[in-house]
Each structure stands twice: as C-alpha cells, then as structure tokens.
Chains A and B, each alone.
Chain A
C-alpha cells in the first residue's frame, strides 16, 4: 500500500475541521472512545454540536481557547492508501505552522467558501503551497449546499482561482465542489451536483499519481553516518549510511564524492535484509565503495557527470519563524542542509513578499515572524545543493539561532552566486 501525506490549512469557519472530521468519520477512522470523549467535551464547553475540531486540537491551551495552535498529525487508511494529514491553522500569524506542515506534503488541500469566492486566505495558502513545491493542489469549493449546488458559482470560483494561480508555479491543480457538512463529494460523489464529472475528494486522494513526484534523475546521497563495526566478523567493513536524496544508485555505478572530488565505484549497497540492487528515494541504505577514499558525514555522493551545485554562496527564499528577533543583513546563523551543518552570514536581504498580494517590497530592513523574503547567504564552507524546485531534499535547509538553538527559519534554495 502506498503512502500519501497531505496538508490542510484553514480556520474553524471555513469548514476545514468539518471536512477532516468527515473524511475520518466516513472512513471509520474515529474510534468510539475518541468520539465519546469529544462529545462529552463539546457538551461541557456548551457547543450545540459535536465539535470535530476537538479531534485534532489536543493541547489543553487549544481546547481552552478553541483554536488550533500547532500542526496536528492525523492518520487514516482506505484499502488503497495510507494517509497522513498535517492539519495546520490558517491565519497569517500561523504561516510558520503552515510552512512546517507543507514541507513534507504530497498534496495541499485549500478550502474556499463558495459564497465568498477567492479571498486573501485562499491566495496565501495557494502561494505557500507553490513556494513549498507541493506537487498537487486540490481546491475544495466548500459550502455548495448554501448556494443550491449552483454550477455557475463553482465555475466562477474556479476561474478566479485559476487566474490567480497562473502567477504561481502549480504543476497540478484540481477543483472539487463539496459540502463538508452534508458529505457531498467528500467520500461519495454527490447526487446533488450531477453536472460535476470529476471524482470525490477521497477518490482523488486515493488516485492522484505521486510516484513520479520524487526526483529519480539526479543521483544524490548525502552521507549521514559511517558504519565501521570493528568486530572480528566484519573487520574491514566500512559502509556509508544515508537516505537517498535523489536519483537511483546501483552496484557498479561510477560515483564522485564531494567535496573531495574523488571518484570510485559502488561495490555494494547493503541492508539488514541483504544486498540491494537499486536504491532510490527515500530508501535508507548503506553504500560501500570499491576504493579506500576518505568519506565522512556531510559529504555528498553523486555521479561524475551529474553533480549538484557546489558553492558557498546561495540565493534563497526564507520564511522567518522567530518571535524574539528578526532576520537582518549581516546576521550570522547556523545552517543545516542535508547532513551538512555550516555557519552562514546573511549577505543581503533583497525583498520581502506580501503573502496575501504577492507584492514585493524591495530592500526591507528585516524579516519578522511569519514573513517571507529573498536573501543571499554566504556559508563558511561549501554546500552541495540543487534548486528546491528540482529536488526538495537537496534544495531545503533550516537556520538555527546559535544562542538559543531555536529553529528560526525554513529556507528554499533558488540559485547560487551573490
């Protein structure tokens, strides 16, 4: 069975919780004791209906305040696929949570209220999904029941969204008219909208093709850990453990190790279960090389004729996540990229982007919490990367404050040079 991760963003009023609740309920993924517990809590809180948001709002503070603070992960399965939902709050002040939830998603679900059409929030969610390169964007036009399941209204929302999405980089865009409350087109196709010829949301999630979303072209293997048993049985064993970050590796492949530039041949790819004939992402394997060359954690194994960019200067989009201080030029931070850690200096802050209008503000003084901007970074040592749009594994990094050790930014590489 295949695995699909999808991210949702939204607030209570747009029906996101109802939609997720519906998916979980109709796929029998809500357990009796969970249901009883949220029913009791709903009554206690004075709600007229069973508040399905309580399923995901697990923290005391969230229940007390009736809001989603953090990313919640929910799990459900159908006979076809296993699903992980990263459920995130939708308001501007939670942009960092949305970015976190979106970073690993295969599919992004954006909700639009059919009565209100494309609003600021829908634009922001679509922009973040495209920035994070979520390959598939599904727009659920919700509350169709409140507009008499009107096809024209749905088409209008669709056109409006599409014209906005043209400015973004969205590889796959799907529109589904739904009523989360009544279940129209959520699990089963709706009888109220015979004019709609597409799939229900669940059917779409089960069928959307994700296997080709990973990069299987550019062979990338960041060395994570060197395995040296130092036992009598495996006296001379030296294996390079890691997770394939791109492309395919096979025994016999000619490879190059960065930064040294030495070349060798893959002598075997090992796993606990026996030799592996082909390793591809996201397999975690151990690679052995024919030659005795110096390889350590943070090195990158690639192909001599297909290397990542090797540079100390990178161009990136960053989403700033610190509440306590802002990003400004000349600032020094710790960076983690693949298995490599480095220190960087912010050489330049080119522009800040308004996540609601996509408007660029040139040369701002700083980026504060939840703001996204374009920066040039100078690293103390070379990094081996690809553009994020080509490879999410080798194009992403995080920035960490060296004093508090807090993760303060998510970074997406858009190029090299200054």
Chain B
C-alpha cells in the first residue's frame, strides 16, 4: 500500500493561497484591476492570475501607473506580457496628471515622481470605477506593510486607516464596500523576497534583464547606486562610474538604487538573496528613507 502524505511544499502553499484570493475577488467585485509595474512581484502576480483563471483569460484589466521615469526595457517587457496574455492594459500617466495641473512636479536633485503617483492612481480608480485593486506588496518588505490586511479597505478618499482595519479571520475575506470605496488586495502578502525568486526559478517566469548583473553607468547617492539617466539631476560631487550591478526592486529610475552584484543567473540570485544581510527596500529605495514611518504615511494617503 502506498502512503500519501498530502503535504504541500511552501511554494505550492503560497501559490494556492494567492490563487484563492484572486478568484475570491473576481467573484465578489464588479470592477477589479491588477496593478502592474513591471517589477518582479507584479510579474509573479500576473503569472498567478493567469493560473487562477486558466483556461480563461484574465477577467480584469491590468493597470500601470506610469511615472514617465521607467526603465525602457521594463516597459517593453510589460507590453510583451500583456500581449501574450491577451489582457487589457490601462495606463495611468503621472505626466498627464502634471500636464493637467493635478500635481506639481518636484524640483531639485532629489526630485521624484514617487509621491505624485498617488494622485494619478486615485484619479484612475475613480475614472474607471475600480472597486478592487490587486497589488504585489509583501509583508516582509516593510514594517507598515507587515500590519496590513490581505483585503485592505480604502475610504472614498483612497485613504488607509491602520488603526481601524477589519479583522481578517481564516481565509474568509470581507469584500463589502460602499460606492466610492475600494479594496486594495495583496495576494502575495505572505511571500518573502526569497520565495519570489524561488518561484520565478521554479515556474520559469521571464523577468526583465535589469534584475540580472550587468554593466551600467551609475553614481553613488546615500550609499546606493542610482542609474545615470535624464530623469535625475546629479550634483557636482556625484560622479558617474561604470559598475556591475543588478536591481533588487524595480520602480521609478529616480529613486530605485542598484546593488553591486555578480549574479547573472536565477540560481546565483537565489544564492545572493539567501545570504544578504540587508532588506531589499533598505538597500534600494530612497523613498523609504524619508522617515521612520515614510511608507505608513504614504499608504495613509492612498499609495500602493
């Protein structure tokens, strides 16, 4: 007699949990939407969504909040994936928000469009009447996110109230909202950075080349390597050098730093991530360094 143990390994477990959440939202909401940045987490999200509804197409559109400061290879990658999945792409443009006077561009060497995205995002939610937005945030990324629910309720101003979150029990998600309110949904809440990489390797998920070590002209700021690009104003002391780097997170070019790395394959990345002593946001995100509670403050305003 064969003995079946009925055990799932951790990646199967995390995958099943995410698929359950995608389906639950598709069943209960009228206008869901998947936020896609081209980053590894949102690429995994897209892959999970495709799995959840196979053999049908995604029952919701994909939205990119475009700061206008993206890595060109990431944009090309986005378009290719969307086409392969025959998905509908909605682009919400920060440039358009600036042109229409909804937000004012920051100036100076530290100018970033990171915070401006919130207005663009909330405007797009209103325009398209989205009632549920899937995001690829993970609880291990940041301490405010460690406290956020899988279904994160937003009021009609798009705001998050960390002190007044709905209790979330078992896998019974409360998706009831009133008109104008919405839910941010985080199906990969329980994944760690290492889980993401192990899953990408296991599933053969394609990712943009900026995640692998490559030579790039960069300059040092606040202990991070920022890419030299037209979107960043350098000071005189900030000298451009060529370094072999890779990105641990991919966001706006003006505030995403690269790390020096020799990892050219997924196996090498997994090895590097397993041994790292610095969190991915600590290593690479200028936007989180504003203050101890920078993420919490942005999230309260309606940020991702």
Please tell me if the beta carbons of A59 and B296 are within 8 angstroms of each other in the complex: yes
Contact B163 A103 (CB under 8 A): no
- Looking at B4, B54, B162, B172, the one whose CB has the most chain A CB atoms below 10 A away is B172
Judge whether B278 and A334 touch: CB under 8 Å: no
Partner of B176, one of A34, A60, A63, A405: A405
Q: Is the CB of A59 within 8 A of B16?
A: no
Query: Chain B residues with Cβ under 8 A from A284's Cβ?
Result: 15-17, 19-20, 23, 52
| Contact assessment for A243 and B7 in the assembled complex, using a CB-CB cutoff below 8 Å | no
- With A32-B278, A229-B56 as given contacts, are A211 and B6 in contact (CB-CB < 8 Å)? yes
C-alpha gap A97/B149 in the complex (Å): 12
Interface string of A248-262 (1 = CB under 8 A from B): 100000000000000
In the bound complex, do residue A396 and residue B9 qualify as a contact, i.e. CB atoms below 8 Å apart?
no
Binds A, one of B89-97, B114-122, B124-132, B140-148: B140-148
In this complex, the interface size class of chain B, counting residues with CB under 8 Å from chain A, is 35 or more
CB A282 to nearest CB in B, in angstroms, measures 5
Closest residue on chain B to residue A248 by CB atoms? B6
Q: Contact at B282–A398, with CB atoms within 8 Å?
A: no
Give chain A residues whose Cβ lies under 8 Å from the Cβ of B189: 73
Which one of A72, A104, A228 lies within 8 Å of B170 (CB-CB)? A104
Contact of A58 among B54, B57, B143, B195 (CB under 8 A): B143
Instruction: Mark contacts of A395-410 with chain B using CB atoms, 8 A cut-off: 1 yes-contact digit, 0 otherwise.
Output: 0111010000111001
B144 and A280 contacting across the interface, CB-CB below 8 Å: no
A41 contacts B by Cβ under 8 Å: yes
Bound Cα distance A229, B14 (Å) = 25
| Centre residue among B170, B276, B296 by max chain A CB count within 10 A | B170
- CB 8 Å contact bits of B48-64 with A (1 = contact, 0 = none): 00111111110000000
Query: Which residues of A are found within 8 Å of B296, using beta-carbon distances?
Result: 58-60
Question: Which residues in A have their C-beta under 8 angstroms from that of B16?
Answer: 243, 282-284
Give, as a whole number of angstroms, the nearest-CB distance from A50 to chain B: 15
Q: Decide if A69 is an interface residue (CB 8 Å cutoff).
A: yes
Would you call A56 and B146 a contact (CB within 8 A)? yes
Q: For the complex, is A180 an interface residue (Cβ under 8 Å from B)?
A: no
Is residue A237 within 8 Å, beta carbon to beta carbon, of the partner chain? yes
> A residues within 8 A CB of B14?
3
Using a CB–CB cutoff of 8 Å, the interface residues on chain B facing chain A are 4-10, 12-17, 19-20, 23-24, 26-27, 50-57, 139-140, 142-147, 162-163, 165-172, 174, 176-178, 189-190, 192, 194-195, 276-279, 282-283, 292-293, 296-297
